[in-house]
A and B are shown apart, each in its own frame.
Chain A
Amino acid sequence: MLGGVKPLTDMEYAECFNAFKSVSSEWMAIEEWLSKDFVPSMGGRRSAKVLSIGSGTGDFDLILMRMLSDKIPDLTYTSLDPNESHNELFLNQYKKSGLKLSSFRIIAEPFCEDSFEGGFDLIHLTHCLYYIPDRKAAIECAYEMLNPGGILLIFHQTPMGINEIQRTYLKRVKGDEKELFSSYDIIQILNELKLKFSFDILISDVDVTDCIKGNETGRKILNFFMESNLDGLDVALRDEIICNLKDISRSEGGRYFLFHPGGIFWIRKDGLTQGDP
């Protein structure tokens, strides 16, 4: 980290993520995609074993769990995330949700080859590959852990939106850009692994008006964008980031929206089932 800029603690990260979530339309877009394009193709199964890698606060998982449990009577769900603050939030949300799965567990660990034996029907990596050092190995390993006919879903940022800001500023702000990783890189990896995939981009925006106004919510959102606590950041550099953010956003009704679309990869392990969206 560079002078004045600190890493986010688990608790801070969870707060910043929640601030981001409150101004992002991505979850709505994902929910729509799941309900229209993905979940119908999972129907007809009596049981399914699901692994969520990097489940975070569980927002995506709770949507997926609800949709799948309506279709699949015997649903076993395993979530993996090293952030204990996130896991606590997820567990609380799950308890409040009233969902009753055959089995549900959250494991506070990062994903690695030895995590599980495999045998999953669905594995998803949702916005977590930024934090995994060997992304290619993680994708390959997740694919290997699927049952025949199983599906690997990867939701990840494209080179547009937050990634544009990160490409320009991440290294200047925090001294490294190890989180810089987009759907473009995933396409290269999948091609190297010779895995067939479907790809789609979901339209979603982030309302960055608070960042431009410089209020408390905006401060948290900017921290999330830069994966750091920017409280000690040089004021001139902060102003430059905000100016750039404003430049690449569109203005509508007095607010500023950053186009931050989500990339979706859909990989089916060779097997008997067909019907990709």
Chain B
Amino acid sequence: MEINQIKIDDVPIVSVSGRIDGTTSKDLETILNELIAQNMSKIVLDLEGVVYISSVGLRVLLSALKKVRPNKGDVKLVSLQPFVREVFEITGFTKLFTIYPSQGDALGCFKV
């Protein structure tokens, strides 16, 4: 798994590629927790390069969402591959997360 971070208008954009599973999800969890600890409650998570996500990986995303929501924050997801989207639909995660086609769309929604 590879993780890259940039910031646009003070909103962190975390781009992940590869597999988010029991072995790799800890790295993603650490990065998200660090951002939240820095009071970054609006986060864009670009999953375009993610080919697989396990339930351990889903836990990391849900945990981040639950941490930022009380501060009126959100974790907006970008570009899910078909397999990952299917996992999100089956698990009900599409009812909790908003998914955008591009980073720009996700950022735009934070500005509204």
What residues make up the interface of A, taking CB atoms closer than 8 Å to B? 158-161, 164, 183-184, 187, 199-201, 203, 247-251, 259, 261, 263
Contacts and interface: CB of A to CB of B under 8 A. Distances in A.
Given A183-B91, A200-B96, A203-B66, 6 more contacts: A160-B91, A199-B92, A247-B22, A250-B56, A259-B59, A261-B62
B92 A248 contact: no
A249 B22 contact: yes
Contacts of B59: 203, 250, 259, 261
B22 A250 contact: yes
A161 B66 contact: no
B95 interface: yes
Contacts of B95: 187, 199
B7 to A, nearest CB: 27
Contacts of A248: 22, 54-56
A200 B93 CA distance: 9
B62 A201 contact: yes
B15 interface: no
A160 B90 CA distance: 9
27 contacts: A159-B91, A160-B55, A164-B55, A183-B91, A184-B91, A184-B92, A187-B92, A187-B95, A199-B95, A199-B96, A200-B96, A201-B91, A201-B92, A201-B93, A203-B59, A203-B62, A203-B63, A247-B22, A248-B22, A248-B54, A250-B25, A250-B56, A251-B22, A259-B56, A259-B59, A261-B62, A263-B92
B91 A259 contact: no
Interface string B32-75: 00000000000000000000001110110011001000000000
B14 to A, nearest CB: 20
Contacts of A251: 22
A252 to B, nearest CB: 9
A251 B21 CA distance: 12
Secondary structure at the A interface, as helix, strand, loop or mixed, is mixed
Nearest to B70: A36
Contacts of B22: 247-251
A250 B57 CA distance: 10
A203 B65 CA distance: 11
A161 B55 contact: yes
Contacts of B93: 201
Interface in B79-112: 90-93, 95-96
A217 B90 CA distance: 31
The 6 lowest CB-CB distance pairs between A and B, nearest first, are A160-B55, A259-B59, A259-B55, A250-B56, A199-B95, A184-B90
Contacts of B91: 158-160, 183-184, 201
B36 to A, nearest CB: 15
Nearest to B93: A201
A202 to B, nearest CB: 9
